[in-house]
Chains A and B, each alone.
Chain A
């Protein structure tokens, strides 16, 4: 399942719509890192509301995506982590890896955060 990448002003939005295979995750990463440069985006929002599981691979890929886009001048925010998913990520010991990644409750909050970062 391919993740669409939408351009909204200075930002890119990647709304994940269903469970992703590892290959899908990597494709999304490549496209985001690529598009950030092409479109000179200032921020990226990855919406994971639809994910019912975030395992070590998903977590690691999202983290590297955030670090890579940051190197290309765009802050990445992960939004929509579900309560159950957050809980099991903590149990799995994945949160340490997410410490340097920004998170927000939902798309609105993610956009508000980016606005504060880039326009404030």
Chain B
């Protein structure tokens, strides 16, 4: 299996492709049980966020190593409108779209690491990671 996979996101069917690929890579890295579901759920929320706010973008799923620890890193990138108030977007239940407003805060709760960079008019990049 390749160490990195890119999935373009533009329709709701792409969400399924992204999380299935993510799950497969996570399994290959050595995750099991709930962790696989958790990683797939996080990818699902991030991909959904792209569709809802930017229309299209991509999900990059890659194997990560830190010393003897292995993990998985997921980057969700779009060239959409960007988020004017990141702190607000990270609040539970806050949503300007049709979602539950759980996408970003939910993904943060699911994963070990979470980073978001957003610039109005340029786009948003969310990077999350989980370690074994």
Contact = CB atoms under 8 A, between A and B. Distances in A.
Asked if A and B touch directly (CB within 8 angstroms), the answer is: yes
Interface stretch (B15-23, B60-68, B80-88): B15-23
| Chain A residues touching B, majority SS | helix
Given A21-B12, A22-B15, A92 B99 contact: no
Interface string B57-95: 000000000000000000000000000000000001000
Contact of B37 (A60, A84, A94, A97): A84
Interface stretch (A34-42, A49-57, A108-116): A49-57
B37 A59 contact: no
Contacts of A85: 37
Contacts of A87: 34, 37-38
Interface string A75-98: 000000011110111011110010
Contacts, number: 73
A52 B44 CA distance: 12
Contacts of A83: 34
Contacts of B41: 53-55, 88-89, 91-92
Given A56-B45, A84-B36, 15 more contacts: A52-B23, A52-B40, A53-B37, A54-B41, A55-B44, A56-B100, A60-B99, A82-B37, A88-B41, A88-B110, A91-B109, A92-B45, A92-B110, A93-B106, A97-B100
Interface of B: 12-13, 15-16, 19-20, 23, 33-34, 36-38, 40-41, 44-45, 48, 92, 99-100, 102-103, 105-106, 109-110
